[in-house]
Structure 1
């Protein structure tokens, strides 16, 4: 089997309704707009697709395909995913691809392979489980009272844990984290994501509050450029750290965080930010060797497959963006996500289904 075509389609993905916010300094939910789908075809009629869900992706992906990827991929065996993953990193040396596009060829190739053998991608990856608990991962709400009410709704809807994305103010965020623990009691797992809003002194301040409130993990309080800063944070706080979400380098960079003692809970795996399925599985195996977790970031369809394939991940991340909470469609009433059953990743190969794209793009 040989690759015969590499195409980019521009598709409309609807924005969130209602729109939602992140911490101060960050843009909120992306509006309805164009996104890109990569489609890889073969001489045997088997295809694989992957969605680039970020705004601006059609222009970026079209440029990369036209300049580099089409010539690189056409004629290759699509089942040689390791070789083609390596080639993407070689091309990145000079081109420095946007981080979310580093894994898009890999995602499409794993989708293609699953369709070729009529198996879900998570089974091709090895398969570890058929269900996983979901945690409610909040967007940023206006007041503590709104956060507490959202937490009550999430618990009633069956979510097994709650993660906060708050305002980016160390004092206010610490107070919110303590208030939520007091509100829900001692047993519900709670997590906090700083969305890279702090320097080291403020990160320590929030971390001390999280430790006192028995939070399960403390995620990305600082930009992930300085492994040394994270190592200092790990030495300073008792709450376990979950790191290496947006740093470049997939498993290679994750190794530095682990070796420095900064990944005291674990590192992030993600098809979108850690080099596709291949980069994420390398990250997970690396983390497992050090007996730490590889928590899957993001709630789109590829990452559901990843959750079912990685042994050392704990939860599926389900985004909650409205004060009137709606449980994500893939989450059951008892807070579980079941393994996908369709072949490959299961994005439609004939891209005319906006609803499917909307579900695929949620993250």
Structure 2
């Protein structure tokens, strides 16, 4: 089997309704949906796709396909995923690919292989579980009272934990974290994500509040450029650190966080920022060797598969962006997410966006 065509297609991704905000200094949800599909096909009709959803995705992916991806892939064996994953990193040395683009080829090739085998990707990866608990991962709301009310709604709907994305003010955020613990009691798992909003002194101040409130993990309080700063943070607070979400290098960079003693809870994995499925699995196995967690980042469909395949992950991250909470469609009333059943990645088709996507997944090969 050989790859015969590599295509980029623009697709409309509906914007969030209602729109939502992140911490001070970061943009909120985009006003206009933007996305693209990478489609890889072969001489015997097998195909795989990967969705690329971010501002400017269509222009960016079309450029990568025309300048780089098509030349690299046409004529290659689509089952040589490890070799092609390494080729992408060779390309990145000169091209400086956007971090979310590094894993697109890999995701599409895993989708192709699993669809040829008529099984979900998580089963092709070996399969570890068929369900996993979900935590509610908030966007940023205006007041403490709104956060507490959203937490009540999430717990009533079955979510098994709450993660805060707050304002990016270390003292105000610390007060919110303490208030949430007092509000929900000692038994609800709580997490905090700083979205890289702090320097080391403020990260230490906030981390001590999280330690006092017995938070399960403390995630990305600083930009992940200085592993030394994270090591000093780990030495200064007792709340466990979950690190290496946005730093480049997949498992290679995660290894340095672990070796430095900065990953006291574990490391982040995911298809979007860790180099696709292959990069995420390499990172998860690395963390497991050190008896650390590899928590899956994000709630898109490929990461749904990772949750079912990685032994040392504990939760599915379900984004909650409105003060009126509805459960994500994957989450049941017990707060569990169940394994996908369709072949390949099994992208959703039940709305207008899904039906537009379906034409690129199920149309005849060129």
Please state which band the TM-score falls in when normalised by the shorter chain: over 0.9
- Asked if 1:178 is matched to 2:181, the reply is no
The question of whether the paired residues in 1 share the 8 Å contact of 2:347 and 2:354 is answered with no
The question of whether the paired residues in 2 share the 8 Å contact of 1:36 and 1:57 is answered with yes
Counterparts of 1:136 and 1:228, CA distance in 2: 31
Structure 1 residue 68, shift from structure 2 partner: 1.1
Counterparts of 1:158 and 1:201, CA distance in 2: 36
Question: What is the aligned partner in structure 1 of residue 360 from structure 2?
Answer: none
Structure 1 residue 33, shift from structure 2 partner: 2.7
The question of whether the paired residues in 1 share the 8 Å contact of 2:196 and 2:223 is answered with yes
1:13 is paired with a residue whose SS is coil
Structure 1 residue 117, shift from structure 2 partner: 0.5
Question: What is the aligned partner in structure 2 of residue 116 from structure 1?
Answer: 116
Structure 1 residue 353, shift from structure 2 partner: 4.4
1:302 is paired with a residue whose SS is helix
The question of whether the paired residues in 2 share the 8 Å contact of 1:100 and 1:273 is answered with yes
Question: What is the aligned partner in structure 2 of residue 237 from structure 1?
Answer: 237
- Asked if 1:156 is matched to 2:185, the reply is no
The question of whether the paired residues in 2 share the 8 Å contact of 1:204 and 1:236 is answered with yes
Question: How many residues of Structure 1 are paired with residues of Structure 2 in the alignment?
Answer: 357
The question of whether the paired residues in 2 share the 8 Å contact of 1:251 and 1:279 is answered with yes
Counterparts of 1:355 and 1:73, CA distance in 2: 27
Question: What is the aligned partner in structure 2 of residue 131 from structure 1?
Answer: 131
Question: What is the aligned partner in structure 1 of residue 46 from structure 2?
Answer: 46
1:342 is paired with a residue whose SS is coil
Structure 1 residue 32, shift from structure 2 partner: 2.7
Counterparts of 2:315 and 2:177, CA distance in 1: 20
The question of whether the paired residues in 2 share the 8 Å contact of 1:6 and 1:39 is answered with yes
Q: Which runs of 5+ in 1 are unaligned?
A: 359-363
The question of whether the paired residues in 1 share the 8 Å contact of 2:104 and 2:276 is answered with yes
- Asked if 1:325 is matched to 2:331, the reply is no
The question of whether the paired residues in 1 share the 8 Å contact of 2:230 and 2:262 is answered with yes
1:17 is paired with a residue whose SS is coil
2:12 is paired with a residue whose SS is strand
Question: What is the aligned partner in structure 1 of residue 264 from structure 2?
Answer: 264
**What CA deviation, in whole Å up to 9, does each residue of 1:194-249 have, x standing for no partner?**
00000000000000000000000000000000000000000000000000000000
- Asked if 1:141 is matched to 2:141, the reply is yes
TM-score scaled by structure 1? 0.97
The question of whether the paired residues in 1 share the 8 Å contact of 2:265 and 2:292 is answered with yes
The question of whether the paired residues in 2 share the 8 Å contact of 1:8 and 1:39 is answered with yes
Q: Which runs of 4+ in 1 moved over 2 A?
A: 31-34, 350-353, 355-358
Question: What is the aligned partner in structure 1 of residue 84 from structure 2?
Answer: 84
Structure 1 residue 355, shift from structure 2 partner: 4.0
Mark the CA change 1:267 to 1:57 in structure 2 (over 3 Å): closer, same or farther: same
1:33 is paired with a residue whose SS is coil
Question: What is the aligned partner in structure 2 of residue 208 from structure 1?
Answer: 208
Structure 1 residue 61, shift from structure 2 partner: 1.1
Question: What is the aligned partner in structure 2 of residue 30 from structure 1?
Answer: 30
The question of whether the paired residues in 2 share the 8 Å contact of 1:347 and 1:357 is answered with no
The question of whether the paired residues in 1 share the 8 Å contact of 2:88 and 2:102 is answered with yes
**What CA deviation, in whole Å up to 9, does each residue of 1:332-361 have, x standing for no partner?**
00000000000010137x999404689xxx
Structure 1 residue 43, shift from structure 2 partner: 0.8
The question of whether the paired residues in 2 share the 8 Å contact of 1:217 and 1:265 is answered with yes
The question of whether the paired residues in 1 share the 8 Å contact of 2:234 and 2:262 is answered with yes
The question of whether the paired residues in 2 share the 8 Å contact of 1:11 and 1:351 is answered with no
TM-score scaled by structure 2? 0.96
RMSD: 1.4
The question of whether the paired residues in 2 share the 8 Å contact of 1:40 and 1:47 is answered with yes
2:39 is paired with a residue whose SS is strand
Counterparts of 1:351 and 1:308, CA distance in 2: 22
Question: What is the aligned partner in structure 1 of residue 343 from structure 2?
Answer: 343
Question: What is the aligned partner in structure 2 of residue 225 from structure 1?
Answer: 225
Counterparts of 1:204 and 1:34, CA distance in 2: 37
1:36 is paired with a residue whose SS is strand
Mark the CA change 1:352 to 1:95 in structure 2 (over 3 Å): closer, same or farther: farther
